[in-house]
Amino acid sequence: MSATPWVLHVDLDQFIAAVEVLRHPELAGKQVIVGGRGDPTERAVVSTASYEARELGVGSGMPLRIAARKAPDAVILPVDREAYDAVSAEVMAELRAQPGAVVQALGWDEAFVGVTTDDPEGYARGIQSAVLARTALHCSVGIGDTLVRAKVATGFGKPRGVFRLTAANWLEVMGHRPTIELWGVGSKISKRLATLGIRTVVELAAAEDAVLAAEFGPRMGPWYAQLGRGEGSAEVDDTPYVPRGHSRETTFQRDLETRDEIEDAARTLLAQVLADVSADARPVIGLGLKVRYAPFVTKTFTRKIAETTNVPAIMTEAMALVAKIEPDRPVRLLGIRAEMAIPEDARDDHTPTRGGW
């Protein structure tokens, strides 16, 4: 038996809720909801609900006030990013300490691990016990011969399990399932695929590139066919993450009505964004503004600017975007984004990605 390269995908089980239970052991087994500032009368959504709360129909993304109505006895906690950051760093450090591991973090609670071994299941079990010993958290591990297969495999391992998905069993396991179960296919794309008569993974796998390209464009079309086959990159990339930009957005508890209020809010957001940008020590090359007028109309404006680190200059450009906001229309959400110059050697090419890899 010779050693083979494998992609492992490690996913912490119920990460946010699990961290909160570690800090508050008395919450174990109770209905726990984490979201916003922990105040169900505010405009906010659920980040995570414990299994006990999920049984009452509470799920992530749900408005907090509706969640509180469904689970009136639940403990509602505020989101504590710093706490999750700290635990996440411990998890990632433990993964990097595994023998031969190449680690690519995908967020707080997920990572790809590349490793060459003749026993990927044994290696995966080793990861699980090492993470548990260091952080008292459980995780599931997907094993694959591509990134996509490893990522999808994890779902079959949850909770606390290991599952292997390769070219040998991909269609057997995934072929009959709806396309929305693929990583990178959401509700909109799955519906558009259905109008082409493509409803299952095996149908997508057999679809012609030309048909998909006509519907989704020259890059996304063929990429979806690849997804259907579970194919694509098998390379775990551990080069340091270089952010393309920083943004801040806020939903106001009371809609903003006046020009002054809106401009003040924009200046505050921009100052926060520029603090993040300056921490990266890179110039700004573009700005974006997102505005949601009550209740559901969202507009975006973007503006390319001459590369600069000059704060007053950036402020002037940002205010030119703010001027596009329609007057006399209540503003419920405001977001500001700064695009940063990317170092030449950090510029990657192609492989459409969806938030992370």
For DNA, the closer of residues 114 and 335 by Cβ is 335
164 counts as binding DNA under rule CB under 7 A: no
3-state secondary structure 58-104: CCCCCEHHHHHHHCCCCEEECCCHHHHHHHHHHHHHHHHCCCCCEEE
Instruction: Find the binder of DNA among 6, 84, 108, 123 (CB under 7 A).
Output: 108
**Encoded amino acid at 158, one letter:** K
| CA distance linking residue 263 with residue 258, whole number of Å | 9
Residue 87 φ/ψ, nearest 5 degrees: -65, -40
Catalytic pick among 20, 52, 94, 110 = 110
251 counts as binding DNA under rule CB under 7 A: yes
Q: In what order do the strands lie in the sheet with 4-12?
A: 102-105, 110-117, 4-12, 139-144, 162-165
Closest CA to 12 of 94, 116, 102: 94
DSSP at 106 = -
Q: What angle do CA 321, 188, 287 make, to 5 degrees?
A: 15
Closest CA to 317 of 294, 337, 331, 298: 337
Question: Cβ of residue 187: shortest distance to DNA, in angstroms?
Answer: 5
130 counts as binding DNA under rule CB under 7 A: no
293 counts as binding DNA under rule CB under 7 A: no
Q: Which residues are registered as beta bridge partners of 333? A: 251, 292
Instruction: Find the binder of DNA among 217, 258, 275, 307 (CB under 7 A).
Output: 217
What mask of x and - would describe binding to DNA in positions 61 to 90, judged by CB under 7 A? Answer: x-x-x---x---------------------
Question: Cβ of residue 328: shortest distance to DNA, in angstroms?
Answer: 18
Instruction: Find the binder of DNA among 106, 130, 211, 311 (CB under 7 A).
Output: 106
Q: Which residues are registered as beta bridge partners of 139? A: 12
Question: Cβ of residue 212: shortest distance to DNA, in angstroms?
Answer: 10
Question: Cβ of residue 236: shortest distance to DNA, in angstroms?
Answer: 15
Question: Cβ of residue 153: shortest distance to DNA, in angstroms?
Answer: 13
220 counts as binding DNA under rule CB under 7 A: yes
Question: Cβ of residue 234: shortest distance to DNA, in angstroms?
Answer: 18
Lookup: tokens for 304: 């390319």
308 counts as binding DNA under rule CB under 7 A: no
Yes or no: say if 31 and 56 are a contact pair by the CB < 8 Å rule: yes
Yes or no: say if 265 and 330 are a contact pair by the CB < 8 Å rule: no
The region of 129-137, 202-210, 218-226, 229-237 touching DNA under the rule CB under 7 A is 218-226
Q: Which uninterrupted H or E stretch holds 175? A: none
Catalytic residue list contains 110: yes
300 counts as binding DNA under rule CB under 7 A: yes
Q: Which uninterrupted H or E stretch holds 350? A: none
239 counts as binding DNA under rule CB under 7 A: no
301 counts as binding DNA under rule CB under 7 A: yes
Using alpha carbons only, how large is the chain's radius of gyration in Å?
23
Residues of this chain that bind DNA (CB under 7 A):
36, 41, 43-45, 47, 60-61, 63, 65, 69, 106-110, 151, 182-190, 216-221, 243-251, 276, 286, 292, 295-296, 298-304, 324, 332-333, 335, 337, 348, 350-356
